[in-house]
A and B are shown apart, each in its own frame.
Chain A
Amino acid sequence: MTRTPFFRARLPDPDEDSRAAVTTSSGAGGGWGTAMRVIVPLQGVVQGRGGLVLGSLIPCALCYFLQLYLKRHRSGPARTPPPSPSSSADHLSEVTGAVLQRSSSRAHLSPRGSGGPAHVSSRAALILRGGDSPYFVGLKRVEEDPYDAVANPNGIIQLGLAENKLCLDLVCEWLVANGNKAMLGDEASISRIATYKPLDGLMELKMAVTDFMSQATERSVSFDPSQIVLTTGSTAAIETLSFCIADGGNAFLVPTPYYPGFDRDIKWRSGVEIIPVPCRSSDNFALSINALDRAFYQAKKRGVKVRGIIISNPSNPVGTVLSRETLYSLIDFVTEKNIHLICNEIFAGSTQGAEEFVSVAEIVDSEDCDRTRVHIVYGLSKDLCLTGFNVGVIYSLNENVVAAAKKLSRFSSVSTPTQRLLISMLSDARFTQNFIRVNRERLRKMYVEFVAGLKKLGIECTKGNGGFSCWADMSGLIRSYNEKGEIELWDKLLNMGKINVTPGSSCQCIEPGWFRFCFATLSENDVPVVMERIRNVSETCKSRS
């Protein structure tokens, strides 16, 4: 009896549930019993006419198809996960083979265990149930059908991921020249990188990171390495901070539109709510202290305790930077309400506009204000093009927060070899200075080109200064001025235009029709292709009205 391995199949994502499930014989279950009740009499009939072989083959083939049918319409959790598209062919032959050998063991026919599958937590259930927002759906689609100028020119162009490919060549160059030595050292001594190290990061890396942060903010402020906790990416940094300053059921005020990932990063495990504070295009989506105040008061009335405000500066998706005055007002506000302020400054080094970037650290440094309530999140993914390395930074002048974050960092600790490598890279002043400068130039160039391209199509963007995206007003192209209309356009852009962009609703923008285009993953040649595709889509939209 052949035993088909249980595991030889890819796992389902909730979005794949609609695909037909072709299973191996180990999942035959109840369908097999039913099939037999049909086949055996049939077999007798056919054998009389077509001989033994036909008499066996036909019923078996029928059985196979019946099994397929039953599998497709089976309710309840599938025991064997459906295979990935590429391997479904293998499975067909596997199933046929197994059917002909009638290898199904009795065990699979018996009812599965007592009382159904064991429970998963409500947190997990939320994640599984949660209809994926267009943000995540789009990312997935690109994964399945990625554009390549040569290999897959009809694929989907990724404009929905705020990543930077523009300066990979610089990083690559450095790594090829210095990588090995940096990681292992001259003696190739493994104990340097193998043994337990402080889980919140090596002090040398913290020092190198603060130096880099200083460079990124154009030396207007110096950061203290002992106030840093390193984490596996800024996603972990934000979550860790949430755990430190808020309890489950509390809330953060977050001006919209905001980075779609916040809904996951903050709410999932810590149970802290996000209260969106709308900003409007009429004042360029600027932060309004009045709006914050109203939201705070409304939350209080509902009995929800607001523990802090989260802002992104430069903002994602809008791309604007906060002025000094706004930052002062913000700090006054949080001080008055006795709450925290988390500043996500992950794009600090990626400013490309004319306006100066001011880090909140500079304000806190200079003013005589309560430093214990301001916390900065940073990371190396954006400014250094090193997403895969997953290094995030928590910077706080609140000793208790730093102490708590340090203890929590055991759950998201950065790999030592990676740290060693980065120490070397960030300490190479020539490299970092050149990199920051070239990166800004290339970002600026791409930004200008992209915005101009959109303008030619009649699409205006807010004036941005930082980050990898432009925030475009496509309300003129949507059929109905609401979220439905916006999603329709998004869908058209994705499936017809073959470009993945982020719709404003994923960012909780209250005005429909705004879209985020991330341009830093493109090469120069891609821009005209993108514009052409947008033109095609916008043409169909206009022809309707």
Chain B
Amino acid sequence: MAIEINPVPSVQLSKVADSEKHGENSPYFAGWKAYDEDPYNEMTNPSGVIQMGLAENQVSFDMLEDYLEKHPEASIWGKGAPGFKENALFQDYHGLLSFRKAMASFMEQIRGGRARFDPERVVLTAGATAANELLTFILADPGDALLVPTPYYPGFDRDLRWRTGVRIVPIHCNSSNNFQITPQALEAAYENAESMNLRVRGVLITNPSNPLGATVQRAVLEEILGFVTRKNIHLISDEIYSGSVFSSSEFVSVAEILESRDYKECERVHIVYSLSKDLGLPGFRVGTIYSYNDKVVTTARRMSSFTLISSQTQHLLASMLSNKEFTSRYIETNRARLKKRYDMIIQGLKRAGIKCLRGNAGLFCWMNLSPLLQKPDREGELDLWKTMLHELKLNISPGSSCHCSEPGWFRVCFANMSEQTLEVALARIHNYMDQRKR
């Protein structure tokens, strides 16, 4: 007699869990997989894939190590753990005051003292990823929209949309004016959202821009501020690369503009920062929201209970970032080294006949390979990307994953490797270009 076995109905998961919005199936992430399987190593695997798709800053580690060595009191157990009890029990989402002060001061230094930051407005999160998501939760309801200029960091698709249910409507930028945001593009994006019956809640810009590697000009910032004021919406300025501008004078933070206007209309402006890029400490998971809006600060602070930074990490960094002698030296040296890398890669690419967008910041350059495309469209770009990945063994990020409206642009990271490795990568490109000519 046959025995019937009824399968136990498998228990259902949520829509969030089942959704594809985590975006981990895009080429941006697929390239990483190829790298994981065959990573370049100078000694053991010289023909492996060189990771040029990860915006990590490794050029200034030595300075951090030097500091930690010279200042053992930075970790709280250096001198018999004087502040330990309060530290360990510190579960408050306000964060250590000393750390917030240090962050505010560091942010001021990066902007050359042209803007001031109040520690009471600093809200701590575990990384800028969490900061951007948190702000989105606070400023927009599910189904609302944020306007984001293209090309933009691929992670935004996930960070801003996944759990929040908020939509991204692109502000299209193109190479005719170096991908700068224009008033027409802003209006067009707003109208586009309206035509889709989406309520626009804010504009999110990255300054300096990822993937462009360039700062947003003062006039454009003022234009954007005017736009968000007229529409009565918010402005989020992700300034995560602000310390990686090659020359201090070229970066204008929205904070400076607000200060110079006596903070008029500032309640709609919020700045996101993190130590992952400028200090090269992504593993520390340190992010912050700086808002000029009291309600947003209060709400963000409470919501930060889901994304706390351990008090031990706060203490360690507080000591380091309050040391102004160290931070000013670090900022200056880091800038110079990044600039050197940037020059190196631009020259190298130029020699190979490849042009890049003129950049002045960040850990990457925005490379124009459109002349090489078989077909001047997204498919052609992806084909070229695959060639770069599988033939040249270079993982670079295709512009389409950044929603760039023009095919053929690629983001190439240069700060997450040694100079030797960068030379190897450039050599590979050189050879490839030579071969193509023949």
Considering only CB atoms, which chain B residue lies closest to A193 in the complex? B283
User: What B residues does A412 contact at CB under 8 A?
Assistant: 126, 130, 306-308
User: Are B68 and A190 interface neighbours, CB within 8 A?
Assistant: yes
What 1/0 flags go to A164-193 for Cβ under 8 Å of B?
Answer: 010010011001100110011000111101
User: Are A400 and B13 interface neighbours, CB within 8 A?
Assistant: yes
Q: Determine if B378 is an interface residue (Cβ-Cβ < 8 Å).
A: no
User: Are B120 and A7 interface neighbours, CB within 8 A?
Assistant: yes
User: What A residues does B302 contact at CB under 8 A?
Assistant: 127, 264
Q: How far is the CB of B253 from chain A (nearest CB, A)?
A: 15
**Of B12, B139, B286, the contact of A121 (CB 8 Å cutoff):** B139
Assembly CA distance A197 to B56 (angstroms): 12
Q: How far is the CB of B243 from chain A (nearest CB, A)?
A: 15
Q: Determine if B337 is an interface residue (Cβ-Cβ < 8 Å).
A: no
User: Are A176 and B77 interface neighbours, CB within 8 A?
Assistant: yes
User: Are A3 and B61 interface neighbours, CB within 8 A?
Assistant: no
What 1/0 flags go to B238-277 for Cβ under 8 Å of A?
Answer: 0000000000000000000001011111111000000000
Q: How far is the CB of B254 from chain A (nearest CB, A)?
A: 14
Determine which residue in B264, B302, B313 has the highest number of CB atoms from chain A within 10 A of its CB, and name it: B313
Assembly CA distance A386 to B265 (angstroms): 42
User: Are A190 and B61 interface neighbours, CB within 8 A?
Assistant: yes
Assembly CA distance A195 to B58 (angstroms): 8
Assembly CA distance A382 to B159 (angstroms): 31
**Of A183, A244, A307, the contact of B16 (CB 8 Å cutoff):** A244
Q: Determine if A107 is an interface residue (Cβ-Cβ < 8 Å).
A: yes
What 1/0 flags go to A150-170 for Cβ under 8 Å of B?
Answer: 000000000000010100100
User: Are B313 and A418 interface neighbours, CB within 8 A?
Assistant: yes
Q: How far is the CB of B102 from chain A (nearest CB, A)?
A: 16
User: Are B229 and A113 interface neighbours, CB within 8 A?
Assistant: yes
User: What A residues does B92 contact at CB under 8 A?
Assistant: 143
User: Are A413 and B310 interface neighbours, CB within 8 A?
Assistant: no
Q: How far is the CB of A28 from chain B (nearest CB, A)?
A: 12
User: Are B89 and A113 interface neighbours, CB within 8 A?
Assistant: no
Considering only CB atoms, which chain B residue lies closest to A7 in the complex? B118
User: What A residues does B56 contact at CB under 8 A?
Assistant: 195-196
Considering only CB atoms, which chain B residue lies closest to A179 in the complex? B77
Assembly CA distance A196 to B35 (angstroms): 15
User: Are A387 and B14 interface neighbours, CB within 8 A?
Assistant: no
Contact (A338, B77) CB under 8 Å given A120-B295, A190-B61: no
Determine which residue in A127, A171, A190 has the highest number of CB atoms from chain B within 10 A of its CB, and name it: A190
User: Are A6 and B262 interface neighbours, CB within 8 A?
Assistant: yes
User: Are A244 and B89 interface neighbours, CB within 8 A?
Assistant: no
Assembly CA distance A245 to B68 (angstroms): 43
Q: Determine if A19 is an interface residue (Cβ-Cβ < 8 Å).
A: no
Determine which residue in A236, A386, A410 has the highest number of CB atoms from chain B within 10 A of its CB, and name it: A410
Contact (A370, B11) CB under 8 Å given A124-B299, A180-B78: yes
Which residues from chain B sit less than 8 Å from chain A, CB to CB? 8-18, 22, 24, 54, 56, 58, 61, 64-65, 68-69, 72, 75-78, 80-81, 84-85, 87-92, 116-118, 120-121, 126-127, 129-130, 133, 137-142, 144, 159, 163, 165, 201-202, 228-230, 232-234, 259, 261-268, 280-286, 292-299, 302-303, 305-313, 316
Which residues from chain A sit less than 8 Å from chain B, CB to CB? 3, 5-14, 26, 77-78, 81, 105, 107-108, 112-124, 127-128, 143, 163, 165, 168, 171-172, 175-176, 179-180, 183-184, 188-191, 193-197, 232-233, 235-236, 239, 243-248, 250, 264-265, 268-270, 307, 335, 338-340, 370, 372-373, 381, 385-391, 398, 400-401, 404, 407-408, 410-418, 421
